[in-house]
Structure 1
Amino acid sequence: MSPTRRPALPFLLLSSLLALPLTGTAADTGASDRWTKQLSVGGGVAPRYSGSKDYQAVPMLSFEATSPGGWFLGTGGVGWSTTVAGRASLRGYVSASNSRRDKDAFLEGSDHLRGMGRIRSRAMVGVAGSYVVGTAVLTAGLQYTPRDSDRGDNGLATGHAVLGVDVPLFALAGGKLSATGSAEYGNKGYMQTWYGVTAAQSASSGFRAFTPKAGFHSAGLGLTWRRELGARSDWFISVEGARLLGDAADSPIVQKANQFTAISGYNRRF
């Protein structure tokens, strides 16, 4: 199962969660007695940052190699995964957190945030699990990023949780259509980092000062169409609409509470 989605940075959003065709069925949770490798390539469009009204084209490129013992290494991080009774999976990993610039930059910034300062990527630890119920797949994940004392309020320790569900619908145009749903929760540090405005940031950016509380900050619905191209490859198209909630939606840096993402890609398993 891929690491939990992190919505602030389009590239990581597309390179981790939207490689989701790898986790969509009960068969995907089966253990392997050999090395497996997986490559995903594609591209799409996503907001410049969580809450932006501007969109940009983003690439998707991810690779992961998994040993017979469950250890894995790839663009989504390094860690260990296991399956339980053929219907559940669990993974722990260390990866890189999101980043954001306060200027237009390739994949991670917007001029609208001028004066907000840079949020740098740093080490992040996470756990994620899935459970098959009938034909549906339930998912949950937790991520924790330690404090970066050199970055002040842009380097707070953050905690983030995501709940999700993937439900197959019906066959369509030679492939299969499924629906997805998600809800995301951030602790106070997470909300302050991505949606808050400190007094210093207010003075340099012109945004009003804002201190958000911990809580659910996003809920989304999506559709994914996937067509098998062989025993080890598939092509998919995925679209998602998400709504920022609570203090996230009320943040002065948020231009639009409704956020949309679309991507198409190719998966190959070796």
Structure 2
Amino acid sequence: MHAKNLCLSLTSLCLLAAADTALAEDWQYSLKAGMANAPRYSGSDERMTAPVLGGKIISPWGIFLDTDTGLGWGYEGNALSFSAYVGASDSRKDKNESMHAGSKRLKGMGEIKSRAQLGVNAAYNLGGVIIGATLEHALEEDKHKETGKAFTHLELSLGTNLYEGRYGSVDAAINSHFGDRNYLQTWYGVTTDQATRSRFKEYQASAGNISNGMNLSWSVPINEHTQFSTLLDVQYLADKAGKSPIVERRLQTSVMGMVEYTF
């Protein structure tokens, strides 16, 4: 899982703390910095460590600009949270780069380019158990026929707070990821042309379950405006993705540590 997705997982877990009002009374700003260690790509047995940097601005009317999701509008009530946004999708390279997901073991597979992405996220608090869903649709990237098709990804989750006290807050969530045929083929499939250029045999992926897993986060306040958070993410690639010849390890684990300053 990429650092961006780790941040999104941490953000989803933070929905466990429901807001009292739908709109902020004033502008809100936050900056974050940290480090993440994750597989070089989904299914890789190599690992990479990369910095995590970002920020977010929220207006009094719910409009936000977030380095993780993009430009959008959000609502937070006592039980319901909702957001819609336009941003950029993930990417993958077929060579090793310290700041980008990918590996030289994918040589010949071509680059999966980032492209415009539409997303919606919703969470509902059922007495301490949070039901969440995130749907993202990446638009077509015309220049690359093999890896540029439009694709759709869905995440469903159940989360809860395990601890709240003098040592901070511990939250946990279980989740499942699903994708349409284009998503699975883009990230896990191997076309005839890719097979001739790479070390992998041809593999036609189909729509379905991508992975199932869990997140565990621990957030500790440092002062009124600053907190330190750690996140452990564990995913097990399901058959639709796990049988791909590019997958070297089906059990994928990622960790992240981050300091966030809000003002």
Q: TM-score, normalised to structure 1's length? A: 0.91
- Percent identity between matched residues is 33
Per mean C-alpha deviation after superposition, the further-off stretch among 250-259 and 53-62 is: 53-62
Amino acid at match of 1:151: H
The 5 A counterparts of 1:1-270 are 7=1, 10-20=2-12, 22-27=14-19, 31-76=23-68, 77-84=70-77, 86-106=78-98, 107-171=100-164, 174-270=167-263
Once the two structures are TM-superposed, the CA of residue 232 in structure 1 deviates from its matched residue by: 3.0
Equivalenced residues, count: 261
Aligned to 1:190, the other structure's residue is in SS state: helix
Q: Is the 8 A contact 2:33 2:52 kept in 1?
A: yes
Once the two structures are TM-superposed, the CA of residue 137 in structure 1 deviates from its matched residue by: 2.3
Aligned to 2:241, the other structure's residue is in SS state: helix
With over 3 angstroms needed to count, the CA separation of the structure-2 counterparts of 1:230 and 1:196, relative to structure 1, is: same
Q: Distance in 1 between matches of 2:21 and 2:257?
A: 23
Aligned to 1:27, the other structure's residue is in SS state: coil
Q: Is the 8 A contact 1:15 1:61 kept in 2?
A: no
With over 3 angstroms needed to count, the CA separation of the structure-2 counterparts of 1:111 and 1:28, relative to structure 1, is: farther
Q: TM-score, normalised to structure 2's length? A: 0.93
Aligned to 1:59, the other structure's residue is in SS state: strand
- 1:69-90: CA deviation from partner (whole Å, max 9, x where unpaired): 1111131200111234x21111
Per mean C-alpha deviation after superposition, the further-off stretch among 37-46 and 118-127 is: 37-46
Q: Is the 8 A contact 2:115 2:140 kept in 1?
A: no
Q: Distance in 2 between matches of 1:91 and 1:143?
A: 12
Once the two structures are TM-superposed, the CA of residue 59 in structure 1 deviates from its matched residue by: 1.4
**Which ranges in structure 1 are unaligned for 5 or more consecutive residues?**
1-6
Once the two structures are TM-superposed, the CA of residue 21 in structure 1 deviates from its matched residue by: 5.9
Per mean C-alpha deviation after superposition, the further-off stretch among 28-37 and 96-105 is: 28-37
Aligned to 1:53, the other structure's residue is in SS state: coil
- 1:165-195: CA deviation from partner (whole Å, max 9, x where unpaired): 2211135771222222111000000000000
Q: Distance in 2 between matches of 1:156 and 1:174?
A: 46
Once the two structures are TM-superposed, the CA of residue 246 in structure 1 deviates from its matched residue by: 1.5
Once the two structures are TM-superposed, the CA of residue 13 in structure 1 deviates from its matched residue by: 1.9
**Which ranges in structure 2 are unaligned for 5 or more consecutive residues?**
none
Q: Distance in 1 between matches of 2:21 and 2:46?
A: 37
- The answer to which structure has the higher helix fraction is 1
Q: Is the 8 A contact 1:146 1:158 kept in 2?
A: yes
Per mean C-alpha deviation after superposition, the further-off stretch among 222-231 and 49-58 is: 222-231
